[in-house]
Amino acid sequence: MDIVVVTTIIASLFLVIGVAEPLAARLRLPYSVILAVFGSLIAIAAAFFLHTELTDALNPVAEAILGLPIRSNVFLYVFLPTLLFQATLGMELRRMLDDWVPILMLAVVAVVVATLSVGYALAWVSALPLAACLLIGSIVSTTDPSAVVSIFRSISAPRRLARIIEGESLLNDAAAIALFGLFMGFVMLGLPDPDLEEALARFPLLILGGAGTGWALARAAVWIMGLFRRHELAQVSISAALPYLAYIIAEQSVGASGVIAVVASGLTLNLTAPGRLPPQAWANLRELWDVLAHWAGALIFILAALLIPRLLEKVSLQEVLLVGVVVIAAIAARAVILFALLPLLTKVKLSPKVERPYRVAILWGGLRGAVTLALALAVTESFRVPAEIQRVVGILATGFTLFTLLVQGTTLRWVIGRLGLDQLSSIDQALSRQVVAVALQTVREDIAQTNENYELNRETVRAEAIQFGERLEAAVKRAEDSADILDRDRITLGLIALAGHERDSILARLREQTISARMAEMALANADRLIEGARSQGRSGYQRVARRNLAYGPTFRIAGWLNSRLGISAPLARITADRFELLLSQRLILRDLGSFIDNRIRRIHGRRVAELLHELLTRRVDAVETALDGLRLQYPGYAEQLERRFIRRTALRLEEREYLSMREDGLVGAEVYMSVMQDLEARRAKAETRPRLDIAVQKTALVRQFPLFADLDETATRRLARVLKTHYVNAGKVILRKDTPVRSVYFIASGAVEAETAGQVVRLGRGDMFGQMAILARRTLPTEIRVIAPTTLLELDENRFRRLLSRSKTLRSAVQESARKRGVSLPDLE
């Protein structure tokens, strides 16, 4: 085919893509529906022009359209990796980890259930072999969530719900394509009744092999990109190669799932690259992938839609009925997951609650799209698949896709309206009024400053000010006098606004490059949790999330176990350094929120709400300071290194601003500006490198800070540091229970615990110890030790404690004094 004709057709398709999006918005229809309709109409028009004598002049164009070299490998090897990779880069991974249970249920479990449901339903009502029926089930089990997600966003649905659907879509495609590969192999081998146990046993191997391949390639890519910090285009080029290499190597060399490899490589890059790349480079890389994925998604839909008339040639009534069977079985399988399995998981507290109206919307919004058509095309192109099976697969997959697009897609917004999901709740209506009032107040202040700067006509300014003031007064009155808002709702609105401003402050710090992209991502995830916690549970939800953000997570505890049990300190050092830097960043950001409460929230919600928010903010600041103090005690000197790094980064940002100002004022030329900026970038790259945290060295320094070990010599101190085990414990955990044997003594490095004995409560803090009484008295004591704040404990077993006690006079004195205060008699400790 002439390259000029092909180029012209592709360029014309881009024009169609440009028209489709605004048309979809105007018609209030999903974008994918418009693309599918356009593609089908183009193919039908081309076939009409080719077979009528009235338009012979258009025959070359029609032949070119119908003869486009559209093959399944184009979709699977060119477009699909682009879509999957971009989806992983745009994910809020740390937030999705909060909802990993429902995501996996909707993705992996739902795919398997849908595949089996459709497969056995078809096998029951048709003469097709079971392998072919299961192949069709795997093809139609993929979903395209773009329509329902875009509508949920437009109606201000919970962000958590949109994240669940997006995460489901990503893993859904990967799982479905992996199953498709399995059943396609059975069909090509001519096995009518495959062994499902064998098929499902191979399924994890496909996933693990693909995940390992993607992870390894992404780690190598991040390392190479880190070497090219000053060459942004080189970094982007490496990212462009990553998904395609991952897909090809996994499929052709490893024999695993290429789709899983692409997903794993994108997730790894999303987690690790922000810490290795400059913030602006990472932002530009993601923007480029957004554009590539937009084009790829639109092209794959239009090109696949061009094939619909060909796939639906000579459809019989029996095949139309089989399409109906596929529709019913697929919807029923999805309903089982949404209305049976998800509520069960919610009841056992493994999944967040998804309200029934949203589950109905997710059910009806399970549209199928280009991936389904591409997989069906792969079957129709395979010469090893019998011709009759090729035909039936093409018809059923295409018919089911058209049903979801033209029936479910066009009625989805109506269904959401009938469910009442497009109506703002009273608290959201109040929030919108608050936003308007605050925005107008800010505009008034800025306009007043503008008038002073430009000395505009006083009469004109006064007339406009009166009109604007009336609008502002009405907006503020609506925000203040909402009769349907309770006081607790006002507090909730204030907390949402406060967390939103915290998010804006983090983004501002990121733009100024005073905090790293990786820390900004973690801080933004925490701020989003605060917003959702306040939305769902008000003040208690906000406080619960604030405590959780400071608590030791499961990864921290695993890293601590690796360090104490196996002597592997690298994960703990990295996570501790992250925690240190995040706490420092949070402290800086939280200290700026007080002025926002006074300048904005007090104006809308009054003095009482503002004072309450100040109190909550003070508690958060104190909690962060306490956590920082604990880390400073454990790792003396490291906090100072991080603070020095922050000061250097801030100074570099201010220096860059001065150079830019001089350049814009014409004080320096382009050559001088480029020279000083190159020097500044070199110093910035050096300042970006985070100081290394040596756990072993810091632990010895920590032991020296305990007054209990003050009389130990250097050798004994180092020996003690080696045998002490470190435990990171969250508030609420019981360390020792009443009347249970005690085998170790615990020393509090940071945090606090409560010791309850016979109804009396004693609090122990940094530098104290517990457990020694039971060991020395040689009997169990009616004492329970409970942690009341995130705490770091050093554990020493009984035998080593007794040997240490015999050598340290200071420790013996401390033990005797502790026993005297508690009225416990101990044997002679000499």
Q: 750 forms bridges with which residues in the sheet?
A: 792
Using 50, 70 and 90 to split pLDDT, how confident is the model at 56?
low
Q: How far apart are CA 182 and CA 131, in angstroms?
A: 10
Q: In 3D, which of 560, 580, 576 has the Cα closest to residue 624?
A: 580
Residue 769: φ, ψ to 5°: -135, 160
Q: Which positions ≥6 away from 675 have C-beta within 8 Å? A: none
| In the chain, % of residues over pLDDT 90 | 2
Residue 713: φ, ψ to 5°: -80, 175
Please return the burial class of 257, using the count of CB atoms within 10 Å of its CB with bins 0-12, 13-18 and 19+: buried
The predicted structure's pLDDT at residue 468: 66
Among 112-126, 134-148, 739-753, name the most confident range: 112-126
Distances in Å between the Cα of 626 and the Cα atoms of 215, 584, 621, 632, 750 are 37, 12, 9, 10, 9
Distances in Å between the Cα of 46 and the Cα atoms of 32, 60, 309, 464, 676 are 21, 10, 11, 59, 60
Among 546-550, 700-704, 721-725, 728-732, where is mean pLDDT lowest?
Answer: 700-704
The predicted structure's pLDDT at residue 620: 87
Q: 295 forms bridges with which residues in the sheet?
A: none
Find the angle CA(90)-CA(215)-CA(212) to the nearest 5 degrees: 130
DSSP state of 575: H
DSSP state of 126: S
On the question of pLDDT at 704 being above 90, the answer is no
The predicted structure's pLDDT at residue 541: 85
Collapse the DSSP code of 706 into the 3-class scheme (helix H, G, I; strand E, B; otherwise coil) and give the result: coil
End-to-end CA distance of the chain: 98
Q: How far apart are CA 786 and CA 788, in angstroms?
A: 6
Q: Which positions ≥6 away from 43 have C-beta within 8 Å? A: 65, 66, 305, 306, 307, 308, 309, 310
Mind listing the pLDDT tens digit for each residue in 417-467? 788 776 666 666 666 666 666 666 666 666 666 666 556 566 666 666 666
Q: How far apart are CA 25 and CA 16, in angstroms?
A: 15
Q: Which positions ≥6 away from 350 have C-beta within 8 Å? A: 101
Q: What is the DSSP string of 150-193?
A: HHHHHTT--HHHHHHHHHHHHHHHHHHHHHHHHHHHHHHHT-SS
Among 37-51, 124-138, 636-650, 777-791, name the most confident range: 124-138
Q: How far apart are CA 464 and CA 473, in angstroms?
A: 14
Collapse the DSSP code of 567 into the 3-class scheme (helix H, G, I; strand E, B; otherwise coil) and give the result: coil
On the question of pLDDT at 217 being above 90, the answer is yes
Length of the chain as a residue count: 830
Residue 619: how many other CB atoms lie within 10 Å: 13
The predicted structure's pLDDT at residue 355: 78
Q: What is the DSSP string of 537-557?
A: HHHHHHHHHHHHHHS--HHHH
Distances in Å between the Cα of 79 and the Cα atoms of 243, 281, 437, 779 are 11, 24, 46, 70
165 or 136, which is more confident? 136
Q: How far apart are CA 262 and CA 245, in angstroms?
A: 9
DSSP state of 724: P
Residue 386: φ, ψ to 5°: -55, 145
On the question of pLDDT at 819 being above 80, the answer is no
Question: How many angstroms separate the most distant Cα atoms in the chain?
Answer: 114
Asked if 107 contacts 172 with a C-beta cutoff of 8 angstroms, the reply is: yes
Collapse the DSSP code of 355 into the 3-class scheme (helix H, G, I; strand E, B; otherwise coil) and give the result: coil
Residue 620: how many other CB atoms lie within 10 Å: 21
The predicted structure's pLDDT at residue 483: 47
The predicted structure's pLDDT at residue 41: 81
Residue 127: φ, ψ to 5°: -95, 10
Q: What does the block give as tokens for 690?
A: 């985070």
Q: What does the block give as tokens for 748?
A: 């509090």
Q: How far apart are CA 46 and CA 110, in angstroms?
A: 39
Edge to edge, the sheet with strand 769-770 lists 725-729, 791-797, 744-750, 769-770
Asked if 34 contacts 20 with a C-beta cutoff of 8 angstroms, the reply is: yes
Residue written as tokens 């072993």?
Answer: 696
Using 50, 70 and 90 to split pLDDT, how confident is the model at 236?
confident
Collapse the DSSP code of 750 into the 3-class scheme (helix H, G, I; strand E, B; otherwise coil) and give the result: strand
Asked if 812 contacts 826 with a C-beta cutoff of 8 angstroms, the reply is: no
607 or 68, which is more confident? 607
Number of DSSP helices (H) and strands (E) in the chain, helices first: 37, 8
- pTM higher than 0.85: no
Using 50, 70 and 90 to split pLDDT, how confident is the model at 69?
low
The predicted structure's pLDDT at residue 181: 77
What is the signed CA dihedral for 327, 330, 331, 337, rounded to 10 degrees?
180
Q: How far apart are CA 369 and CA 300, in angstroms?
A: 9
Residue 734: φ, ψ to 5°: -90, 120
What does the pLDDT average to over 386-409? Answer: 83
The predicted structure's pLDDT at residue 393: 84
The predicted structure's pLDDT at residue 415: 82
Residue 288: how many other CB atoms lie within 10 Å: 15
| In the chain, % of residues over pLDDT 70 | 77
Q: How far apart are CA 246 and CA 268, in angstroms?
A: 12
Q: How far apart are CA 352 and CA 541, in angstroms?
A: 14
Collapse the DSSP code of 752 into the 3-class scheme (helix H, G, I; strand E, B; otherwise coil) and give the result: coil
Q: How far apart are CA 519 and CA 542, in angstroms?
A: 21
Using 50, 70 and 90 to split pLDDT, how confident is the model at 715?
confident
Distances in Å between the Cα of 736 and the Cα atoms of 106, 724, 753, 784, 794 are 41, 18, 11, 5, 14
What does the pLDDT average to over 395-417? Answer: 82
Residue 317: how many other CB atoms lie within 10 Å: 7
Mind listing the pLDDT tens digit for each residue in 261-310? 888 898 888 877 876 777 777 778 888 888 888 888 777 777 777 777 76
On the question of pLDDT at 82 being above 50, the answer is yes
Residue 325: how many other CB atoms lie within 10 Å: 17
Please return the burial class of 92, using the count of CB atoms within 10 Å of its CB with bins 0-12, 13-18 and 19+: middle
Q: How far apart are CA 314 and CA 342, in angstroms?
A: 41
Please return the burial class of 803, using the count of CB atoms within 10 Å of its CB with bins 0-12, 13-18 and 19+: exposed
Mind listing the pLDDT tens digit for each residue in 677-698? 777 777 777 766 777 766 655 6
| AA letter at 608 | R
Mind listing the pLDDT tens digit for each residue in 319-377? 788 888 989 998 898 888 888 888 888 888 777 677 788 788 878 877 776 678 778 87
| AA letter at 691 | P
Residue 744: φ, ψ to 5°: -145, 160
Distances in Å between the Cα of 67 and the Cα atoms of 46, 64, 274, 298 are 10, 5, 44, 20
DSSP state of 749: E
Q: How far apart are CA 441 and CA 435, in angstroms?
A: 10
